């Protein structure tokens, strides 16, 4: 086999990786060991930081099949490296397994997935894993997932459970009986323990990991260097800072681990009952569960320890852990295709498609429903980290790195500083050799220049702004679990909003109903709770077609169902366990109207109600429920009126879907017009339908019937109109975002026209804007995929309308005023189906639609995530605001995801708002912008601090002098740290502005600002340094020097003490004193120049801590400069200079301050104009793809598409997504 082979694992998935095989090489290991010794352990550190170097330096390439170590590289834009050791799983040691029986046991589906054909399994399964030693399987673990070697694939693959490649039939036929003890033991060996383990690392382990961070290693190097040079105080200060930084970092990391561990461990081990193949029921720990086990769900409920599919009974489940909705969900047993009256074809089981039948790990089963003598059973399909909860925990434990230009530029900035340090390093060595300085001093001073240039306080300074922003966000009720994303939120230029519960109120109010009689709509009715309607089929449908249940006596379920049921005022009763046992297979749930609504006489009000002329008791029992499915957009029930022979089927759902499943003669001719009128006004419309079932359908047959058999040939009964009001603050917030040039997009699971209407109501689409509806149809009957373009007419009411189409609601077209469309703003609207077709068949059109797509309706959760990705692909910085219900994936994928739900699902979201209102979005962006600007200010300041100090030291090195220990200490602690931590305190500006902060450090204006300040500071420092030498009183300083005539003034002064303390480092001299004073002022000058306020932060004079700190420092430095204090001078090793020179230094500082602040103000005001003028000769292509696209589309005569046109994908070059526009006449 080729030793240079490269394979891919998890192909096509989010965690796709390339895999390379390596074997340990002894001679390479010996060379590396020697290198480690020679470099004093530094090579070992380097190999610790770089896993690919580590493997390549100690191993040689090998075939993946026989390798000892695998090297993995992600295929995304980060291209991250990981390495893993190959381990062996021994099968022969297990007491349950004899070599003979093992072949059969492997064949029963332990493998990479459970295959269907048992005969082929016997032949192939064993060879999949067995190599020369049939009892050993090779595997490695990466990110809590085990990858086993698969001989048929010639690759590693992770163990799949029953969630892939298993048909619904086989779940009943092969897996519903349970496992034998031997098979269970065998599978447990392969799948391991069923638990989501979040190991909280020991403090020591975390400490080692933190301390081995490259930055702390550099600090350790600095401290050792300073100690050898006797700079003990500064070294001690850095050690204290590092310890504080490490301790706080360890505390927050460990706290997060403990929180996650507690969230997972709260219900990790419970006792469960499982059915064995021999019919026994065995009690085991949940950690022993394996895929294929049949678990008995207890009557009083449990917390699910795994993902399992229901095969018997019904469960009411709280899925807030996964979905964010605390609404109980009813789960029914998986349809069994083999016993369906009308076979619907055997389909493969999938937890996503069959989620209404799947109990997910971590969700709470509140109660179960069952029939006499039958247990509620579920087949375990996934365990451990493979479960839905396990995947959520993995995404938190191993997050994708955040790619942000600021951080990339930060590394470039550090490299530049290293380059500058390199120049200083070489200069110092050459200068010292020329001046015949001893080697020990040369080494210390040349290395010292590196520690001066790369400031040790940089990470602490950078984090300060983010920590302060996090604290301010907390005050306004926004909690953050990923602080690094605060800066990224400052760049957001597009925000996606969920509709229900985010833009609009959470609940729906029943506005009224519109019934159909004799295929005509009656007038709308407000009151449904009356005697006339009590026995009508319409009310019977409202009373039965829902998923409500009583939990501890309180009616709960979907808010829409609750409103609907409350409107009719009926009573719901569920049979108790005793009643079920007594009546044997009685209907489990009964609904009936309150007595006061039932008429006194038993005579029915109209012909429809003849069937109800029975005794005064009028009850309807719900026999079978087909839960609401977002894919089907409907739900239905089979019910029976007490004493009635025939059963009734009731259905409710999206009007267009319900109408397509009804007899055409029962649907009113003006159906689509009435529907459109309601949806345009923003109402949520639900249609109802009914039909009588054949008398041959018995209770037992109904329990196993397919929903397709029930849901057709129905009678259309009318519409329920629900009102979803906009939240009060929605229009204001969206207006603020529009003013700030931030695009807003609506992503909803609701109807298209309702969504467009809400978008107009809340100001997302302005009254004069055009809405273009893209209706994409997949390839069908040999025809290519195509998009039909409709212009939604939202201003005029048309009387005529086209015939109903079962696929989509027809949209009226606008024919006039298309000439000025380039001037008029336009928006695209599409539903989830169209969006998927466009992504698949029209790749070149997708980016153009992303540029103006505003309304995305009927979007499934995974489509929401795809939309976020599509927007990011055209270089938008995307924010997502949702109530956490089905937005988890999108919230996690967006640059800034804000969950309005405080439930556990918000773990997936970087930000969670305490108040369920979108007003948190502008607040977050404002704080993000402030934090981003603070980062820029701090970076610029730290760059100047490094260069100013570097230049001071370089100047002093030229005369073989240096800054004193306490001078360094004063500058670094009293000035730099105080300034950095207070300049970050500026709060965010009151409102959002249209201007956006730059995304990177390497931008023209920013670099010009830094370079100009560097030149100014170097200039004035050099001026002071060389000018002092020109003074008449100047001489090379020695302990007897007396430029101030102190002896004549004070007699025996403290300055004479210097005679007893020889200055070995030549720190005390006139040049040092001059450079120290001028540079001290320069740090404060650039701090003020860079502390920008508007338009992203409050002005710096409102940052009181900063103002007070700077004033105190200014006063102190002025005081010791103009009025020397002997004790301070002695500590700081400052020499006495004449008063006239002190005034001169003050003048230098004042001119420096004036020039610095004027230049910085000019750069702010005219920097961009000058740069664009300088670059004006060549036209600049916008960096962001969406801006480039916008420029292209402005001159495209074919864009936007004209109404009544169709865009077809070209059949031959479909993979390129090319398309042509065909005008239909």
Give the active site residues: 498
Question: Do 966 and 529 form a contact (C-beta atoms < 8 A)?
Answer: no
> What's the Cα-to-Cα distance from 608 to each of 576, 648, 718, rounded to whole Å?
33, 13, 15
- In b/e form, how buried is each residue of 293-324, taking b as 16+ CB within 10 angstroms? bbbbbbeebbbbbbbbbbbbbbbbbbbbbbbb
Burial of 725 (0-12, 13-18, 19+ CB in 10 A): middle
Enumerate residues 6+ apart whose C-beta is below 8 A from 424.
449, 450, 452, 453, 950, 953, 954
Enumerate residues 6+ apart whose C-beta is below 8 A from 93.
none
- Cα–Cα distance between 496 and 500 in angstroms, integer? 13
- Cα–Cα distance between 96 and 144 in angstroms, integer? 27
Question: Do 688 and 720 form a contact (C-beta atoms < 8 A)?
Answer: yes
Backbone angles phi, psi at 333, to 5 degrees: -70, 150
Token pair of 696, please?
A: 């041959």
Enumerate residues 6+ apart whose C-beta is below 8 A from 936.
997, 998, 1001, 1006
> Strands across the sheet with 1219-1223, in order?
478-480, 911-913, 896-899, 878-882, 494-498, 743-747, 853-857, 826-831, 770-777, 786-792, 1205-1209, 1219-1223
Pairing of strands 358-359, 307-312: antiparallel
- Cα–Cα distance between 562 and 226 in angstroms, integer? 72
Q: At what angle do helices 232-265 and 388-397 cross, to 10 degrees?
A: 180
Enumerate residues 6+ apart whose C-beta is below 8 A from 509.
563, 722, 723, 725
- Cα–Cα distance between 767 and 758 in angstroms, integer? 12
CA 868 to centroid of chain Cα atoms? 10
Token pair of 845, please?
A: 């059109």
Burial of 51 (0-12, 13-18, 19+ CB in 10 A): middle
Q: What is the dihedral of CA 383, 384, 387, 390, to 10 degrees?
A: 170
Token pair of 504, please?
A: 């609009």
Report DSSP state, residue 974.
Answer: I
Element (H, E) at 1044: none
Count of other CB atoms within 10 angstroms of residue 970: 23
Alpha helices of 349-404 — where are they, by DSSP H? Answer: 388-397
Q: Computed over its alpha carbons, how large is the radius of gyration of the chain?
A: 37
Question: Do 806 and 660 form a contact (C-beta atoms < 8 A)?
Answer: yes
Classified as helix, coil or strand, 389 is: helix
| Angular region, 1168: left φ>0, alpha ψ -120 to 50, beta rest | alpha
Classified as helix, coil or strand, 537 is: helix
Give just the sign of the alpha carbon dihedral 101, 103, 105, 107.
negative
> What's the Cα-to-Cα distance from 1031 to each of 194, 985, 1076, rounded to whole Å?
83, 43, 18
Report DSSP state, residue 971.
Answer: I
């Amino acid at each position: 086999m080729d030793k240079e082979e490269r394979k891919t694992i998890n192909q096509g998935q989010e965690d796709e990786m390339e895999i390379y095989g390596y074997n340990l090489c002894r001679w390479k290991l010996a060379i590396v060991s020697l290198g480690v010794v020679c470099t004093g352990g530094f090579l070992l550190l380097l190999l610790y930081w770089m896993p690919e170097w580590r493997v390549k330096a100690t191993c040689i390439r090998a075939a993946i099949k026989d390798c000892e170590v695998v090297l993995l590289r992600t295929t995304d834009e980060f291209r991250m490296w990981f390495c893993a050791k190959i381990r062996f799983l021994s099968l022969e040691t297990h007491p349950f397994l004899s070599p003979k029986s093992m072949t059969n046991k492997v064949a029963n589906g332990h493998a990479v997935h459970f295959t269907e054909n048992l005969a082929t399994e016997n032949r192939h399964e064993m060879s999949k894993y067995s190599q020369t030693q049939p009892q050993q399987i090779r595997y490695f673990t990466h990110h809590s997932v085990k990858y086993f070697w698969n001989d048929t694939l010639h690759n590693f693959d992770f163990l799949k459970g029953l969630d892939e490649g298993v048909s619904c039939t086989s779940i009943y036929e092969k897996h519903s009986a349970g496992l034998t003890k031997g098979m269970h033991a065998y599978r447990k060996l392969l799948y391991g323990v069923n638990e989501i383990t979040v190991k909280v690392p020991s403090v020591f382990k975390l400490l080692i990991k933190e301390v081995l961070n490259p930055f702390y290693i550099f600090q350790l190097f600095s401290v050792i260097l300073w100690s050898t040079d006797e700079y003990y105080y500064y070294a001690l200060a850095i050690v204290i800072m590092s310890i504080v930084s490490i301790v706080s970092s360890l505390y927050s990391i460990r706290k997060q681990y403990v929180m996650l561990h507690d969230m997972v461990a709260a219900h990790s081990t419970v006792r469960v009952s499982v059915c064995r193949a021999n019919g026994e029921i065995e009690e085991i720990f949940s950690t022993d569960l394996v895929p294929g086990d049949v678990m008995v769900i207890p009557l009083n409920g449990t917390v699910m320890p795994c993902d399992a599919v229901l095969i018997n009974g019904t469960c009411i489940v709280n899925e807030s852990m996964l979905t964010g909705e605390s609404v109980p969900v009813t789960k029914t047993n998986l349809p069994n295709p083999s016993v369906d009256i009308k076979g619907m074809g055997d389909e493969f089981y999938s937890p996503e498609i069959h989620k209404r039948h799947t109990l997910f790990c971590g969700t709470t089963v509140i109660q179960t429903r069952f029939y006499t003598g039958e247990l509620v059973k579920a087949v375990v399909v996934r365990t451990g980290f493979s479960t839905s909860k396990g995947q959520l925990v993995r995404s938190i434990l191993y997050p994708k790195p955040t790619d942000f230009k600021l951080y990339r530029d930060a590394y470039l900035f550090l490299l530049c500083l290293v380059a500058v340090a390199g120049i200083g390093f070489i200069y110092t060595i050459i200068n010292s050799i020329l001046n015949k300085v001893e080697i020990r001093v040369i080494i210390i001073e040349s290395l010292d220049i590196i520690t001066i240039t790369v400031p040790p306080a940089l990470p602490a300074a950078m984090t300060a702004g983010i920590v302060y922003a996090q604290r301010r966000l907390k005050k306004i009720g926004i909690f953050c679990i990923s602080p690094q994303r605060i800066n990224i939120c400052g760049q957001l230029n597009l925000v996606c909003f969920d509709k229900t519960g985010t833009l609009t109120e959470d609940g729906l109010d029943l506005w009224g109903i519109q019934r159909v009689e004799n295929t005509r709509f009656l007038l709308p009715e407000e009151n449904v709770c009356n005697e006339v309607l009590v026995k009508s089929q319409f009310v019977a449908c409202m009373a039965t077609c829902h998923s409500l249940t009583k939990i501890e006596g309180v009616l709960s379920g979907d808010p829409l169902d609750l409103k609907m049921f409350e409107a009719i005022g009926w009573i719901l009763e569920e049979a108790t366990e005793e009643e079920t046992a007594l009546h044997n297979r009685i209907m489990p749930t009964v609904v009936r109207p309150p007595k006061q609504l039932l008429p006194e006489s038993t005579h029915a009000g109209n012909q429809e109600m003849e069937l109800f002329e029975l005794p005064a008791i009028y009850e309807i029992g719900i026999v079978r429920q087909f839960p609401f499915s977002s894919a089907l957009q409907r739900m239905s029930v089979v019910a029976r009126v007490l004493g009635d022979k025939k059963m009734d089927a009731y259905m409710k759902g999206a009007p267009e879907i319900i109408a397509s499943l009804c007899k055409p003669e029962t649907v009113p001719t003006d159906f689509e017009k009435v529907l459109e009128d309601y949806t345009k006004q923003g109402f949520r419309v639900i249609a109802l339908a009914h039909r009588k079932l054949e008398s041959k359908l018995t209770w037992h047959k109904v329990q196993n019937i397919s929903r397709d058999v029930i849901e057709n040939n129905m009678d259309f009964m009318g519409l329920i109109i629900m009102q979803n009001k906009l939240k009060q603050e929605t229009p204001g917030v969206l207006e603020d975002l529009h003013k700030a040039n931030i695009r807003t997009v609506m992503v909803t699971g609701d109807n298209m026209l309702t969504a467009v209407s809400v978008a107009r109501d809340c100001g997302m689409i302005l009254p004069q804007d055009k809405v273009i509806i893209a209706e994409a149809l997949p390839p069908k009957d040999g025809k290519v995929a195509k998009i039909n373009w409709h212009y939604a007419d939202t201003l005029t009411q048309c009387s005529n309308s086209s015939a109903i189409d079962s696929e989509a609601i027809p949209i009226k077209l606008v024919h006039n005023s298309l000439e000025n469309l380039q001037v008029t703003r336009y928006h695209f609207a599409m539903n989830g189906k169209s969006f998927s077709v466009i992504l698949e068949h029209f790749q070149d059109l997708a980016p153009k639609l992303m540029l103006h797509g505003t309304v995305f309706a009927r979007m499934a959760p995974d489509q929401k995530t795809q939309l976020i990705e599509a927007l990011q692909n055209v270089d938008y910085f995307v924010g997502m605001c949702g109530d956490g219900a089905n937005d988890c994936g999108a919230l996690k994928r967006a640059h800034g995801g804000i969950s309005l739900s405080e439930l556990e699902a918000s773990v997936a979201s970087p930000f969670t708002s305490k108040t369920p209102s979108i007003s948190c979005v502008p607040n977050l962006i404002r704080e993000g912008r402030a934090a981003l600007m603070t980062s820029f200010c701090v970076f610029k300041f730290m760059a100047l601090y490094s260069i100013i100090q570097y230049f001071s030291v370089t100047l002093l090195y030229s005369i073989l002098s240096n800054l004193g220990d306490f001078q360094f200490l004063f500058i670094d602690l009293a000035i730099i740290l105080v300034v950095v931590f207070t300049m970050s305190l500026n709060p965010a500006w009151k409102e959002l502005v249209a201007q956006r902060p730059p995304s990177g450090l390497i931008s023209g204006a920013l670099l010009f600002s830094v370079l100009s300040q560097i030149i100014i500071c170097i200039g004035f420092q050099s001026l002071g340094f060389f000018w002092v030498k020109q003074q008449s009183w100047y001489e090379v300083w020695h302990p007897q020097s007396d430029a101030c005539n102190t002896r004549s003034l004070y007699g025996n002064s403290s300055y004479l003490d210097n005679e007893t303390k020889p200055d070995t480092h030549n720190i005390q001299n006139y040049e040092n004193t001059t450079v120290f004073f001028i540079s001290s002022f320069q740090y404060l000058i650039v701090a003020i120049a860079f502390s920008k306020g508007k338009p992203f932060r409050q002005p710096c004079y409102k940052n009181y801590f900063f103002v007070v700190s700077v004033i105190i420092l200014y006063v102190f430095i002025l005081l010791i400069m103009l009025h020397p204090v002997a004790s301070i001078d002695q500590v700081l090793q400052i020499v006495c200079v004449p008063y006239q020179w002190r005034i001169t230094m003050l003048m230098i500082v004042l001119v420096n301050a004036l020039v610095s602040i004027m230049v910085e103000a000019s750069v702010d005001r005219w920097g961009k104009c000058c740069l664009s003028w300088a670059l004006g000769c060549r036209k600049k292509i916008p960096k962001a793809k969406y801006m480039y696209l916008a420029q292209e589309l402005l001159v495209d005569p074919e864009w936007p598409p004209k109404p009544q046109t169709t865009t077809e994908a070209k059949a031959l070059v479909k993979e390129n997504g090319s398309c042509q526009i065909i005008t239909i006449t």
